[in-house]
């Protein structure tokens, strides 16, 4: 009897074992660590505490009670940053009742239950940009999020990361020209030609400049636009054709705002100019064949768009694009290399470069001391399509582990 | 005087053109030796720094220390990986239209519809495919017979490898029919066919008995189905979902066809049953699907080739023209390897196995003595996303060279500088 | 002669009035019952409820019953408080599937649903026969800011007997149905932006111009006038919580189907939930959610959302919840006192207690057994339904 009591109290007094995935310090050991910020580290160690990397290098002492993830001879790299991914939101990506909606924040429609998030994590994406749709000329504000958490607050790491402006014909699709009746709903007010789109942009930028000069502070739309023209929020312009890219470059100079080119299908034609102006490019989805998107959009393609831009000196980010079947970002990089992009540039294009363009490079994009512990453990070279993502660590916690021999 | 000059001039001209002509004609050499950095034979182990001897388009020898005849034309490929050309066991591309409007048209043949100048064939050759079974589409019950072609040639006859191969049966209901109606239609057709054959045999027997000549032929519209019943043709049965697989097996067992199943992604659920019946399978081009688990509401990734591989089913891959990888057979194989398939089995699924399914494995699918000298010169390992098809050899003749591929060049090279526009406002 | 005729005529004319008033005169009644489920004070076996002037005077085991009072003997039956349907669109227009949304304008806080209620509608009688005595009437989910809810009893000749709260709060909807293709908002972000705009305007409203809409919304942001927010999925609920925090709203969540995923966040803000009818779910996983929500400290009341499900099936929600693990006491509370407290009418209804209205339901068995049927329903001491013996 006494023995039972002693044993029981002993068991009760024993400290509860650490919850799986919630240790004090985690150490990741791997045969090769691709930091992206510098040279690869052979037989390296990463120490993680409170979701951040506290130390990284060779010959680092691992604390006694650390939880060790031994990746053997596998390759470790930073979690991928997708500058244009399937948005984990519900509902329409555009507020269609107006054509100029700078205050539209897609982050308010974030859905933590979205199936896209789980797929993203399993394909190695640990940071992504969520964008409003492309149906409005000035579409609204996007945010940078991580695929974790139950509420939008837990997901967002950068609110108002960019103002989406659409110069491609998406903002003109489906808009009808009234024939005999007066325009009775808002679809009729919207632009149907490129002229109209550019005119709307110019008008709004002009109004913003006037507004900024005056002392008014009460128009929320113009407030956002004024911030953009004041370089406080970058302007992400969606363009496909070379002539639109040129117009974008011109507008950026005229109104003096920080420009990011989005999609940029014909960027290869204007590579030198883009490089000269030091404008970063977030490439859209890759297509083998030309498509007909109306008004000559999508008809000229070059498989080596990424390579040509990179070789001209442009900062290029590769994306999975807002597709229903999310394309593996690493596969996108592998194919970019196949078509002519240098290997190290391709790896940067899915890690540090998008992090820089999105303005979150202080937190993600490389494996460095002080940054978020977003780590991928791969079965081999990241640019080989036979490589599998074995484990994904986000903010220091393992959020995905590929199972071997699991019943399918 | 002048005439001599002109004669000399004409003679020179003629000589030059003859020389030019002979240079441009690119003669098919009788004997060839290919010295390769790596040879993937598929039938056996890979050979490093080996040689392939070819005579009259057939492989005479393969090995490490092969003696090269003095009169053989040597092709140096020390920095290349040589492997058998890819075989695509099922497609409906390259036709003007894949499906006829009437559901029962087994007498039609894709031979009459293959379009030699279609981009599809140009791309196929560029991507390393050397044999394609072109069959009717998935929207006709009895679509017609197929043709095995190589994606090279200006006419269908030039392209032809093997005519009258495979009969396409699709279990997808067409028009406004339900699955019930669709299956019943098939049963009725087969029942009518069997009645017809019985009567035909009866008439034949009667004529024999009466010692009368019998020269009635089988109705040409029914000939293909008769050949199917006699196992002279193989049935390629398309299934939209797992329930269709059950019906396909029923058809296979009842009529004793030689059967190959052509599957959609949802059919993975029938993998164990297919393994049990030992039926060969042609996988869909979409290899990874995401399904919501009913109970947990969680998304689960299903890797279709792995489900069949683990069940023990023999399969071949298909391709499509969507983004990135699924356009290439090697990418489909690489995806399977990524998720656990053995490399050698994956490579067989894009060479030997499809060749077996379509009945051309006597000459294609491996690099072995006696087979056709039809193989690819790759810039690196086939499962490496960086490997390009540098050359394609078909029956001893180089029919594709990446260096000379103008279209590909245009798609990869930097264009001319666009003239800067004048300043406007 | 003339006087007599005049007097008789007067009496004859006024007689019906007396008759009418007598019919609705506050009732005095005593009910002897096998089990009295008081909800707040436990179960009394073999007890008596004495009703005076339509209110509960006594609830006890062996009280002294005044001689002149009629005694109803249900000594083998169960008595529970009248059931409360915490959210429905019952009786709105004579057609039960009638107008519950004014969709032309997205923001209509000034509309009062009580104006559309018809006590003569078909569903009312059916509802009574299942034991539902009080309901919260609400507009539908097609407007982001839809209108004002009301709490009504399903019986009462005079409005003052019937209407417990003419305006109980403002209905907000964060559902996809509030998005339209031909008027603002068309997107979820647009929906939230619209609500923020309106609430912001309400805060700034100075009462200088007569604006009924602003007056109502001002009471929401400044005077804790309750808001009933329709939010089912996790992202809708988190959006609702964000609004609650931002504008310090006195909120109730309507639906909250996936609320169990973030139960902690709901509980720590003391936000009660009017849960969707469990008849709408078929998966075990979904049916367990409300149990988990309640276990995490959230106050839950059930609703029928009629006509989505029939009012007569209200009790099914509790019965099903018990099957999936909810304790019986909480299950019964969710049909009675919880709803009363959430709707702000717990002084009058929700439990069998001295001083409360005599709204009672007599069943021939345990109220949480599906086999139990309603024998009699009493509202304000009046017998409003009695099951016909076959």
Per CATH, which fold does C83-343 belong to? Answer: TIM Barrel (3.20.20)
| Strand, coil or helix: C267 | helix
Q: Which residues form the domain of A300?
A: 80-364
- Test mutation, C285, C286, C288, C289, chain B, max B CBs within 10 A: C285
Q: What is the tens place of the pLDDT at every residue in C159-210?
A: 778 899 999 999 999 999 888 777 788 889 999 999 999 999 999 998 888 8
Residue with tokens 């030198």: A272
Residue B254 lies in a domain: yes
| Domain co-membership, B321 together with B383 | no
| Domain co-membership, B302 together with B370 | no
Q: Which of C209, C208, C225 is nearest to C217 (CA)?
A: C225
| Domain co-membership, B341 together with B219 | yes
Residue with tokens 């539908």: C140
| Domain co-membership, A299 together with A402 | no
Which residues on A lie below 8 Å from C238 (Cβ)? 112, 150-153
Residue A69 lies in a domain: yes
Label residue C19 by pLDDT band (50, 70, 90): very low
Label residue B422 by pLDDT band (50, 70, 90): low
On average, the pLDDT of chain C sits at 88
Here the CATH number for the domain that contains residue B208 is 3.20.20.140
Q: How many CB atoms lie within 10 A of CB B340?
A: 16
Query: Which runs of consecutive H residues, i.e. helices, occur in B230-351?
Result: 242-255, 271-277, 304-311, 329-338, 343-348
Residue B352 lies in a domain: yes
Q: Which residues form the domain of B387?
A: 1-85+366-402
Residue A4 lies in a domain: no
Task: Supply the DSSP string of A17-67, one letter for each residue.
Answer: PPPTT--SEEEEEEEEE--SSSS-EEEEEEEEETTEEEEEESSPPPPTTPE
| Domain co-membership, B159 together with B31 | no
Q: What is the tens place of the pLDDT at every residue in B400-419?
A: 999 999 999 888 887 766 55
Say if residues B54 and B68 touch (Cβ distance below 8 Å). Answer: no
HSE value, Cβ hemisphere, 13 Å, CA-based, for C173: 26
- Residue B232: both structure tokens together: 């002279």
Domain boundary among B313, B338, B364: B364
| Domain co-membership, B75 together with B116 | no
Q: Is the pLDDT of residue B370 over 90?
A: yes
- Residue B241: both structure tokens together: 């979902």
Q: How many domains does chain B have?
A: 2
| Domain co-membership, A130 together with A229 | yes
pLDDT tens track, chain A, 408 positions: 565 555 554 444 444 444 444 568 999 999 999 999 999 999 999 999 999 999 999 989 999 889 999 999 999 999 999 998 888 988 888 887 777 889 899 999 999 988 888 888 988 999 999 999 888 889 999 999 999 998 999 999 999 999 999 988 877 766 655 555 555 555 556 677 788 888 888 889 999 999 988 887 788 888 899 999 988 999 999 999 999 999 999 999 999 999 999 999 999 999 999 999 999 999 988 888 877 666 677 778 899 999 999 999 999 999 987 654 556 899 999 999 999 999 999 999 999 999 999 999 999 999 999 999 999 999 999 999 999 999 999 999 999 998 764 332
| Domain co-membership, B384 together with B327 | no
- Test mutation, A89, A92, A176, chain C, max C CBs within 10 A: A92
Q: Where is C357: in which H helix or E strand?
A: none
Q: Is the pLDDT of residue C229 over 60?
A: yes
What pLDDT, on the 0 to 100 scale, is given for residue C93? 53
Q: Is the pLDDT of residue C97 over 60?
A: no
Residue B278 lies in a domain: yes
Residue A121 to chain C, least CA–CA distance (Å): 19
Q: Is the pLDDT of residue C23 over 50?
A: no
Residue A7 lies in a domain: no
Residue with tokens 């805060």: C203
Which residues on A lie below 8 Å from C192 (Cβ)? 108-109
Q: Is the pLDDT of residue B27 over 60?
A: no
* Cross-chain Cβ contact B294/C284 below 8 Å: no
Contacting residues for A12 by C-beta, under 8 A, at least 6 apart = none
Residue A119 to chain C, least CA–CA distance (Å): 18
Which residues on B lie below 8 Å from C284 (Cβ)? 295
Residue of chain A minimizing CA distance to C260: A150
What pLDDT, on the 0 to 100 scale, is given for residue C98? 47
Residue B411 lies in a domain: no
Residue A11 lies in a domain: no
A388 touches chain B (CB under 8 A): yes
| Domain co-membership, A51 together with A102 | no
Residue B416 lies in a domain: no
Here the CATH number for the domain that contains residue A289 is 3.20.20.140
| Domain co-membership, B380 together with B293 | no
Which residues on C lie below 8 Å from B292 (Cβ)? none
Here the CATH number for the domain that contains residue A70 is 2.30.40.10
* Cross-chain Cβ contact A118/B298 below 8 Å: yes
More confident residue, C351 or C1: C351
Say if residues B419 and A272 touch (Cβ distance below 8 Å). Answer: no
What pLDDT, on the 0 to 100 scale, is given for residue A322? 62
Q: How many CB atoms lie within 10 A of CB C312?
A: 18
- Residue B9: both structure tokens together: 């001039």
| Domain co-membership, A136 together with A30 | no
C282 touches chain B (CB under 8 A): no
* Cross-chain Cβ contact C189/A109 below 8 Å: yes
Which residues on C lie below 8 Å from A116 (Cβ)? none
Say if residues B234 and B260 touch (Cβ distance below 8 Å). Answer: yes
Q: Which of A386, A285, A284 is nearest to A334 (CA)?
A: A386
Per-residue pLDDT averaged across B145-168, rounded? 96
What pLDDT, on the 0 to 100 scale, is given for residue A11? 47
B215 touches chain C (CB under 8 A): no
What pLDDT, on the 0 to 100 scale, is given for residue C113? 84
Residue of chain A minimizing CA distance to C264: A150
Q: Is the pLDDT of residue C22 over 50?
A: no
Say if residues B347 and B40 touch (Cβ distance below 8 Å). Answer: yes
What pLDDT, on the 0 to 100 scale, is given for residue C95? 43
What pLDDT, on the 0 to 100 scale, is given for residue C208? 83
| Domain co-membership, B242 together with B260 | yes
C188 touches chain A (CB under 8 A): yes
Complex ipTM value: 0.85
Label residue B301 by pLDDT band (50, 70, 90): confident
Rounded-to-integer distance, Cα C30 and Cα C62, Å: 12
Q: Where is C388: in which H helix or E strand?
A: none
What pLDDT, on the 0 to 100 scale, is given for residue C20? 40
| Domain co-membership, B73 together with B95 | no
What are the phi and psi torsion angles at B348 (to 5°)?
Answer: -65, -35
Residue with tokens 């499509």: B320
| Strand, coil or helix: C350 | coil
Say if residues A139 and A168 touch (Cβ distance below 8 Å). Answer: no
Per-residue pLDDT averaged across C3-18, rounded? 63
Q: Which of C24, B236, C169, C192 is nearest to A106 (CA)?
A: C192
By Cβ distance, the residue of A92, A103, A111 closest to C187 is A92
What pLDDT, on the 0 to 100 scale, is given for residue A315? 96
Here the CATH number for the domain that contains residue B16 is 2.30.40.10
- Residue A284: both structure tokens together: 């859209």
Which residues on A lie below 8 Å from B310 (Cβ)? 408
Say if residues B343 and B351 touch (Cβ distance below 8 Å). Answer: no
Q: Where is C47: in which H helix or E strand?
A: strand C43-52
Full-model pTM = 0.83
Domain boundaries, chain C: 2-81+354-386, 83-343
Task: Supply the DSSP string of B146-213, one letter for each residue.
Answer: EEEE-S--SSHHHHEEEEEEEEEEE-S--TT--HHHHHHHHHHHHHHHHHHHHHHHHHHHHHHHTT--
* Cross-chain Cβ contact A334/B385 below 8 Å: yes
| Domain co-membership, B247 together with B391 | no
More confident residue, C4 or B411: B411
Say if residues A94 and A133 touch (Cβ distance below 8 Å). Answer: yes
Buried b (16+ CB within 10 A) or exposed e, C225-264: bbbbbbbbbbbbbbbbbbbbeebebebbbbbbbbbbbbbe
Q: Is the pLDDT of residue C14 over 50?
A: yes
What pLDDT, on the 0 to 100 scale, is given for residue A158? 95
| Domain co-membership, A60 together with A46 | yes
Q: How many domains does chain A have?
A: 2
Residue of chain C minimizing CA distance to B297: C285
* Cross-chain Cβ contact A113/C182 below 8 Å: no
| Domain co-membership, B45 together with B149 | no
Label residue C347 by pLDDT band (50, 70, 90): very high
Question: What subunits touch chain A, counting only 3 or more CB pairs under 8 A?
Answer: B, C
* Cross-chain Cβ contact C239/A108 below 8 Å: yes
Q: Which of B89, B77, B11, B68 is nearest to B350 (CA)?
A: B89
Say if residues C81 and C56 touch (Cβ distance below 8 Å). Answer: no
What pLDDT, on the 0 to 100 scale, is given for residue B129? 97
**Residues of chain B above pLDDT 90, percent:** 79
| Domain co-membership, A244 together with A192 | yes
* Cross-chain Cβ contact C283/B296 below 8 Å: no
Q: Where is A382: in which H helix or E strand?
A: none
What pLDDT, on the 0 to 100 scale, is given for residue A294? 62
Residue A3 lies in a domain: no
C43 touches chain A (CB under 8 A): no
B299 touches chain A (CB under 8 A): yes
| Domain co-membership, B54 together with B148 | no
Q: For domain C2-81+354-386, give the CATH superfamily.
A: Urease, subunit C, domain 1 (2.30.40.10)
Residue B356 lies in a domain: yes
* Cross-chain Cβ contact C258/A89 below 8 Å: no
Residue A349 to chain C, least CA–CA distance (Å): 30
What pLDDT, on the 0 to 100 scale, is given for residue B7? 82
What pLDDT, on the 0 to 100 scale, is given for residue A196? 82
Say if residues C30 and C360 touch (Cβ distance below 8 Å). Answer: no
Chain centre to alpha carbon of residue C188: 29
Q: Is the pLDDT of residue B368 over 80?
A: yes
* Cross-chain Cβ contact C283/B295 below 8 Å: yes
C62 touches chain B (CB under 8 A): no
| Strand, coil or helix: A117 | helix
Per-residue pLDDT averaged across B100-122, rounded? 93
B412 touches chain A (CB under 8 A): yes
């Amino acid at each position: 009897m006494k023995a039972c009591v002693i044993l029981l109290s002993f068991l009760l007094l024993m400290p509860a074992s650490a919850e799986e995935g919630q240790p004090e310090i985690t150490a990741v050991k791997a045969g090769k660590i691709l930091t992206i910020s510098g040279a690869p580290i052979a037989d390296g160690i990463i120490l993680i505490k409170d979701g951040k990397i506290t130390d990284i290098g060779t010959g680092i002492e691992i604390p006694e009670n650390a939880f060790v993830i031994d990746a053997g001879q596998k390759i470790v790299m930073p979690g991928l940053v997708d500058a244009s991914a399937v948005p984990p939101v519900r509902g329409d990506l555009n507020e269609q009742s107006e054509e100029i909606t700078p205050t539209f924040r897609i982050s308010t429609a974030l859905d933590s239950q979205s199936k896209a998030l789980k797929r993203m994590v399993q394909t190695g994406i640990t940071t992504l940009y969520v964008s409003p749709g492309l149906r409005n000329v000035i579409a609204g504000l996007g945010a940078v999020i991580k695929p974790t958490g139950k509420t939008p607050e837990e997901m967002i790491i950068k609110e108002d990361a960019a103002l989406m402006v659409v110069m491609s014909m998406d903002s003109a699709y489906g808009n009808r020209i009234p024939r005999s009746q007066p325009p009775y709903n808002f679809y009729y007010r919207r632009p149907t030609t490129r002229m109209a789109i550019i005119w709307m942009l110019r008008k709004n930028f002009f109004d913003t400049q006037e507004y900024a000069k005056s002392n008014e502070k009460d128009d929320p739309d113009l407030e956002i636009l004024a911030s953009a023209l004041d370089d406080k929020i970058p302007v992400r312009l969606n363009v496909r054709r070379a002539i639109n890219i040129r117009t974008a470059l011109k507008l950026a100079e005229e109104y003096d705002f920080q420009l990011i080119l989005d999609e940029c299908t014909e960027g290869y034609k204007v590579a030198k100019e883009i490089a000269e102006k030091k404008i970063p490019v977030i490439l859209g989805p890759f297509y083998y064949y030309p498509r007909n998107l109306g008004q000559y959009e999508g008809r000229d393609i070059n498989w080596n768009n990424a390579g040509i831009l990179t070789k001209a000196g442009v900062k290029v980010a590769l994306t999975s694009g807002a597709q229903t079947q999310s394309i593996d970002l690493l596969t996108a990089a592998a194919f970019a290399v196949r078509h002519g992009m240098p290997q190290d540039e391709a790896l940067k294009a899915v890690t540090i470069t998008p992090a820089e363009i999105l303005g979150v490079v202080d937190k993600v994009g490389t494996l460095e001391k002080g940054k978020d512990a977003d780590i991928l453990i791969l079965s081999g070279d990241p640019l080989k399509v036979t490589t599998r993502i074995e484990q994904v660590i986000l903010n220091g916690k393992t959020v995905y582990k590929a199972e071997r021999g699991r019943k399918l | 005087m002048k005439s001599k000059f002109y004669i000399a001039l004409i003679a020179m001209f003629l000589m030059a053109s003859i020389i030019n002509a002979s240079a441009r004609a690119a003669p098919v050499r009788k004997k060839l030796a290919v010295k390769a950095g790596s040879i993937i034979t598929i039938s056996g182990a890979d050979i490093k720094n080996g040689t392939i001897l070819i005579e009259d388009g057939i492989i005479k020898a393969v090995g490490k220390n092969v003696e090269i005849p003095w009169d053989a034309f040597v092709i140096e490929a020390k920095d290349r990986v040589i492997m058998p050309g890819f075989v695509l066991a099922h497609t409906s591309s390259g036709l003007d239209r894949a499906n006829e409007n009437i559901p029962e048209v087994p007498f039609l043949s894709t031979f009459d519809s293959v379009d030699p100048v279609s981009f599809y064939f140009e791309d196929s050759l560029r991507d390393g495919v050397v044999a394609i079974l072109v069959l009717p589409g998935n929207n006709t019950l009895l679509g017609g017979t197929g043709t095995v072609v190589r994606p090279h040639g200006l006419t269908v006859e030039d392209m032809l490898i093997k005519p009258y191969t495979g009969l396409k049966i699709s279990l997808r209901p067409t028009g406004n029919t339900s699955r019930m109606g669709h299956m019943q239609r098939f049963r009725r057709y087969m029942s009518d066919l069997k009645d017809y054959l019985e009567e035909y045999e009866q008439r034949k027997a009667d004529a024999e008995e009466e010692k009368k000549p019998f020269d009635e032929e089988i109705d040409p519209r029914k000939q293909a189905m008769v050949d199917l019943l006699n196992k002279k043709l193989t049935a390629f049965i398309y299934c939209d979902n797992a329930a269709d697989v059950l019906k396909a097996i029923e058809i296979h067992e009842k009529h004793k066809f030689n059967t190959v199943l052509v599957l959609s992604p949802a059919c993975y659920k029938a993998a164990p049953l297919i393994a049990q019946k030992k039926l060969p399978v042609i996988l869909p081009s979409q290899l990874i699907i995401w399904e919501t688990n009913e109970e947990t509401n969680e998304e689960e990734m299903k890797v279709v080739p792995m489900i069949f591989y683990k069940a023990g089913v023999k399969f071949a891959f298909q391709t499509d023209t969507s983004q990135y990888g699924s356009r290439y057979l090697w990418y489909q194989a690489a995806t399977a390897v990524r998720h656990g398939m053995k490399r050698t089995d994956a490579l067989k699924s894009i060479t030997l196995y499809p060749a077996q399914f379509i009945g051309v494995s006597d000459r294609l699918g491996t690099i072995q003595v006696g087979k056709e000298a039809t193989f690819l010169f790759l810039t690196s390992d086939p499962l490496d996303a960086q490997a390009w098809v540098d050359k394609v050899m078909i029956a001893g003749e180089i029919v594709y060279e990446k260096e000379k591929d103008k279209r590909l060049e245009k798609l990869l090279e930097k264009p001319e500088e666009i003239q800067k526009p004048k300043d406007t406002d | 002669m003339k006087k007599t005729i005049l007097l008789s005529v007067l009496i004859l004319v006024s007689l019906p009035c007396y008759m009418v008033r007598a019919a609705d005169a506050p009732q005095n009644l005593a009910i002897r019952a096998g089990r009295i489920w008081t909800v707040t004070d436990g179960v009394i076996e073999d007890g008596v409820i004495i009703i005076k002037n339509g209110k509960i005077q006594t609830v006890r085991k062996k009280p002294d019953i005044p001689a002149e009072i009629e005694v109803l003997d249900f000594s083998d039956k169960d008595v529970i408080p009248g059931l409360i349907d915490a959210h429905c669109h019952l009786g709105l227009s004579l057609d039960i599937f009638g107008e519950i949304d004014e969709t032309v304008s997205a923001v209509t806080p000034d509309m009062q649903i009580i104006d559309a209620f018809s006590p003569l509608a078909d569903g009312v009688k059916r509802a009574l026969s299942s034991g539902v005595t009080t309901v919260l009437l609400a507009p539908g989910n097609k407007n982001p800011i839809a209108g004002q809810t009301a709490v009504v009893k399903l019986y009462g000749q005079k409005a003052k007997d019937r209407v417990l709260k003419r305006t109980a709060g403002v209905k907000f909807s964060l559902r996809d149905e509030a998005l339209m293709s031909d008027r603002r908002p068309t997107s979820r972000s647009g929906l939230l932006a619209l609500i923020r705009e309106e609430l912001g305007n309400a805060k700034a409203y100075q009462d200088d111009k007569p604006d009924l809409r602003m007056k109502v919304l001002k009471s929401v942001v400044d005077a804790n006038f309750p808001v009933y927010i329709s939010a089912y999925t996790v992202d809708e609920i988190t959006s609702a919580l964000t609004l609650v925090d931002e504008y310090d709203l006195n909120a109730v969540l309507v639906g909250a189907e996936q609320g169990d995923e973030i139960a902690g966040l709901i509980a720590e803000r003391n936000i009660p939930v009017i849960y969707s009818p469990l008849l709408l779910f078929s998966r075990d996983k979904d049916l367990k959610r409300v149990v988990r929500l309640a276990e995490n400290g959230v106050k839950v009341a059930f609703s029928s959302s009629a006509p989505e499900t029939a009012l007569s099936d209200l009790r099914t929600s509790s019965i099903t919840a018990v099957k999936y693990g909810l304790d019986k006491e909480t299950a019964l509370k969710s049909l009675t006192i919880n709803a009363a407290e959430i709707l702000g009418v717990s002084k009058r209804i929700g439990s069998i207690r001295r001083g409360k209205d005599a709204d009672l339901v007599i069943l021939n068995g345990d109220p949480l057994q599906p086999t139990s049927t309603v024998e009699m329903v009493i509202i304000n001491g009046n017998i409003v339904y009695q099951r016909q013996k076959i």
